[in-house]
Amino acid sequence: MTTSLHPAPPVPARTRAAAPRARFTDLVAAEWIKLWSLRSTPWTLGLATLFVLGAAALAAKADYDNFPFYEPETQRDHMFSLSDAFPQEGYLTLMIVAVSLGALSVVSEYGSGLIRTTTAAVPARGATVLAKAVVTAGVWTATGIVIAFGSFAVSQAILAGRDAAVSLSDPVSIRAVAASALLAPVCALIGLCLGVLIRHAATTMVTGIFLLLMLPTMFSSDKRWSAELSNLMPGVAWNRLTTGWMPPPRPDYFPATITESWLVLAAWPLLLLIPALLTIRRRDV
């Protein structure tokens, strides 16, 4: 029996198959899991919803109680009905919550270091930001719809006892409900984009709250240039769209048109998303 002195031929090394490129739907699914893995998410959305509905109920109850003391013109025209459905204190709080949670969806990853894992798994950083924007817009749009219809229904059910309710079929009511439903996702996307640009939790939230709530108070409504700047603010645009009646024209009053107000709500997240996408592609994590 002879033994071969020739070594066995080497086994060719197996080439490792390249990992398939992540699809955008996969990125959206991952961001969805990230958002709902935070225990604070459902609690924050639920408490914000209850707060706005409670504010609408309290505003309507106050007008219900004071209705017999109103002037006949006020009773007839129901000037307070839409403002009760969309109370300032409720929706200003909603703006704060939305912009803060939108910011945290980004800056929390920078704080924990998870952003390095995310960018290592998905080098296309712009696609990751877009996936975050899709999830944020979807969750807050659904929340905004529930809040807008809920606050309208609760307030008008109370005012119906005084025959002072307005119908949802009214064009102004439809416009007000739609604008209120969109206010939450607009503010959340503003917070998300600011989070990408600033990357620091406290600074991002303070900046978002300043832009949405404090900056509009610095403009005067009796000077045209100042009023025009004020009309560019999301909160001012929302207030214009939810207003059921307008005062008579005055030479020192410069309200925005309905079309301009819709454009303002649409422009803010879009204009902030562009620099956010450019920044995330060029900056180190």
Q: Is residue 3 part of a domain?
A: no
DSSP secondary structure of the chain: -----SPPPPPPPPPPPPPPPPPHHHHHHHHHHHHHHSTHHHHHHHHHHHHHHHHHHHHHHHHHHHGGGS-HHHHHHTTTHHHHHS-HHHHHHHHHHHHHHHHHHHHHHHHHTHHHHHHHH---HHHHHHHHHHHHHHHHHHHHHHHHHHHHHHHHHHHGGGT----TTSHHHHHHHHHHHHHHHHHHHHHHHHHHHH--HHHHHHHHHIIIIIGGGGS-SSSHHHHHHHTTSHHHHHHHHT-S--PPP-TT--PPPHHHHHHHHHHHHHHHHHHHHHHHHHS--
- Mean pLDDT, consecutive 10-residue stretches, the chain (285 aa), reads 54 51 84 86 94 96 90 76 92 96 88 71 81 95 97 95 90 95 97 93 93 92 88 94 74 84 96 92 68
Query: pTM of the full predicted structure?
Result: 0.87
Q: Is residue 5 part of a domain?
A: no
Under 8 Å between Cβ of 151 and 177: no
Q: Is residue 9 part of a domain?
A: no
Please, which residues have CB within 8 angstroms of residue 77's CB and are 6 or more apart in sequence? 245
Q: Is residue 113 part of a domain?
A: yes
Q: Is residue 19 part of a domain?
A: no
Q: What is the pLDDT of residue 38?
A: 79
What are residue 11's phi and psi, to 5 degrees?
A: -80, 125
- The encoded tokens of residue 283 equal 């900056």
- The encoded tokens of residue 252 equal 């020192």
Number of domains the chain is built from: 1
> What range defines the domain where residue 98 resides?
24-242+252-282
Q: Is residue 38 part of a domain?
A: yes
Q: Is residue 86 part of a domain?
A: yes
Q: Is residue 16 part of a domain?
A: no
